[in-house]
Amino acid sequence: MTYQEKKSIVSIISAILIFVSFSAYKYVRYPEEGLEPTEALRYWGSFVLVLTLVSILAHIVISIVFNIVFRITTGEKEPTFADELDKHIELKANRNGFFVFILGFLLAMGALAIEQPVQVMFVTLIVSGFISDITGSVTKLYHYRRGV
Amino acid sequence: MGKNLVGNHIRKLRFNHDEMTQQQLADKVGVTRQTIVALEKGNYSPSLELAFRIAHAFSMPLEEVFFYGDNTEE
């Protein structure tokens, strides 16, 4: 299995771990009694913001650890540049990821339009962000294995 | 992916050029070994620029390295 394939798999696993563990951490801290609308907005706003920051930091750390483990276990260096195949696959992954996110964004706006609670809109947005991340990594894995 | 119509003789040509490794060819044309693997397996059609660089690495005309047709190597 190539470096890029392993990296895509690590990216999928880490995205799932980060999302599930952060959501579980926040879930137990969710106020049991109903929130005021302004408090609810603040809660979900901080949820999205902190999840984004935690996710970026965790991805950086996991990427560094992965590169170190890859070097030790295979004795190879990770590719230092992205060639035209890598860029081609990256573009396809971004396209699919954005498509999923836009779909989730529209669903979230639809939830507001049909007068669903604001939580539904935020949960839809957060889940679509997570699925778009996974979609991007799965797209990369697929194209590295099956070709472009 | 079954729709690749640009085939190539890269594998055969590498062996005819002192059994050049995929990594050596990759270094010569400025791509990763993964890309050479994908080209040889018919999983990727190179850009025109890369196709010319590969042909140049073998000192051959483009049409003797790449062919247009089905994706099975002749």
ipTM of the complex: 0.80
Strand partners, B7: B67
Q: What integer is the mean pLDDT of B2-10?
A: 80
Number of domains, chain A: 1
CA-based radius of gyration for chain B: 11
Number of domains, chain B: 1
Residue A27 has pLDDT above 90, yes or no: no
CATH of the domain at B53: 1.10.260.40
* pLDDT per position as a tens digit, B23-49: 999 999 999 998 999 999 988 999 999
Measure in Å the smallest separation between the Cα of B1 and chain A Cα atoms.
6
Q: How far apart are CA A98 and CA A100, in angstroms?
A: 5
User: B44 near A147, Cβ under 8 Å?
Assistant: yes
Read off the tokens for B71.
């994706």
- The answer to whether position B24 is within a domain reads yes
* pLDDT per position as a tens digit, A32-89: 676 777 888 888 899 999 999 999 999 999 999 999 999 998 888 888 888 999 999 9
Yes or no, beta carbons of A147 and B1 under 8 Å apart: yes
- The answer to whether position B10 is within a domain reads yes
Q: How many CB pairs under 8 A join A and B?
A: 39
- The answer to whether position B68 is within a domain reads no
- The answer to whether position B16 is within a domain reads yes
Q: What integer is the mean pLDDT of A126-147?
A: 94
> What is the 3 state secondary structure string of A83-98?
CHHHHHHHHHHHHHHH
* Neighbour count for residue A137 (Cβ, 10 Å): 21
Q: How many CA atoms lie within 13 A of A38 on its CB side?
A: 0
Task: Give SS3 for B68.
Answer: strand
Yes or no, beta carbons of B31 and A84 under 8 Å apart: yes
pLDDT for res B72: 52
Residue B1 has pLDDT above 70, yes or no: no
Range of the domain at A130: 3-146
Range of the domain at B36: 6-61
Yes or no, beta carbons of A148 and B31 under 8 Å apart: no
